[in-house]
Amino acid sequence: MSRSKLKKFSEIAERENVLEEGNELYGHLGGKWDEIHFENTNPIVVEIGCGRGEYTLGMARLFPDKNFIGVDIKGARLWKGSTIAIEEGLENVSFLRTYVEQISDQFAAGEVSEVWITFPDPRPKDRDIKRRLTSPRFLALYKHILKPDGIVHLKTDNLGLFEYTLEVLQEAPIKNLISTTDLYQSELQEHTMGIYTKYEKQYLQEGVPIKYLQFKFR
Ligand SMILES: C[S@@+](CC[C@H](N)C(=O)[O-])C[C@H]1O[C@@H](n2cnc3c(N)ncnc32)[C@H](O)[C@@H]1O
């Protein structure tokens, strides 16, 4: 591992805005993120596979009265988001380093108000279907941590993953589905608040339309 990565890992291990294995609160905040971590009862919004946390940070700047948690397994990426949050004094942002597969160990049932899945890896191979972050087993995890009427959002450049997700949703216990295959030609763009990640800007420059959907669980 490179020296710079090791340095980032040792830095995030000391930070209050990063929760990861080894931290005494890791795995013990379920049902208590408000009381123990954020010290307020504002709604909690979780970004799944947040990478460098651009969406989490963008939303946190716009909504100081909500708490945002970016989830990813890659420590060096979370270091970037965590560093920006500290530099900007954003106290309503934290990052959780864990596998999404283990997310129900980190949140109590019904603790989360919204889930954002931003530009997930498309995992096009058939053998990887179960690893897609919108496959039925992941949807069951999101349903568990979300409040009744909580919202799931998906933003992606990848048509295959988008169509796969719509197929999965046909069989899922959901309601109020809205979707578009061309977000920036659609009135649905108001739901995405003008926040763009680095990847998204690249796709748009290449002329790739961004797909978006949102739904609630029944
Ligand atoms: C294509 S990147 C997108 C990052 C960011 N959302 C963006 O739009 O720039 C996908 C991210 O999801 C994370 N990821 C994928 N599967 C994961 C899993 N099962 N658990 C935790 N993180 C995961 C990866 O580490 C990566 O940072």
Residue 136 in contact with residue 217, Cβ under 8 Å? no
φ, ψ (nearest 5 deg) of residue 203: -60, -40
- Is 121 annotated in the active site? yes
The predicted pLDDT at position 130 comes to 97
Q: Which of 121, 128, 149, 182 is catalytic?
A: 121
Q: What per-residue confidence (pLDDT) applies to 85?
A: 98
Mean pLDDT by 10 residues, the chain (218 residues): 90 95 94 96 98 97 98 97 98 98 97 98 97 98 97 98 98 97 97 92 95 98
Cβ–ligand 1 contact at 97 (below 6 Å): no
What local confidence, expressed as pLDDT, does residue 198 receive? 87
Nearest CA to ligand 1 atom 4: 51
The whole-angstrom separation of Cα 148 and Cα 69 is: 19
- With a 6 A CB cut-off, is 50 part of the ligand 1 pocket? yes
Residue 1: its pLDDT value, please?
81
Interval between CA 172 and ligand 1 midpoint (Å): 23
Q: Is the pTM for the entire model greater than 0.95?
A: yes
Domain boundaries along the sequence of the chain: 3-217
CB 73 less than 6 A from any atom of ligand 1: yes
CB-neighbour burial class of residue 137 (10 A; exposed 0-12, middle 13-18, buried 19+):
exposed
Q: Which residues pair with 70 in a beta bridge?
A: 47, 95
**What is the distance in A from the centroid of ligand 1 to the CA of 120?**
6
What are the DSSP E strand ranges found in 16-75?
Answer: 18-20, 44-48, 67-72
Cα–Cα distance list, 135 to 162, 164, 167, 169, 179 (Å): 11, 9, 10, 9, 17
Q: Please indicate whether residue 134, judged by its CB atom, sits closer than 6 Å to ligand 1.
A: no
Architecture of domain 3-217: 3-Layer(aba) Sandwich (3.40)
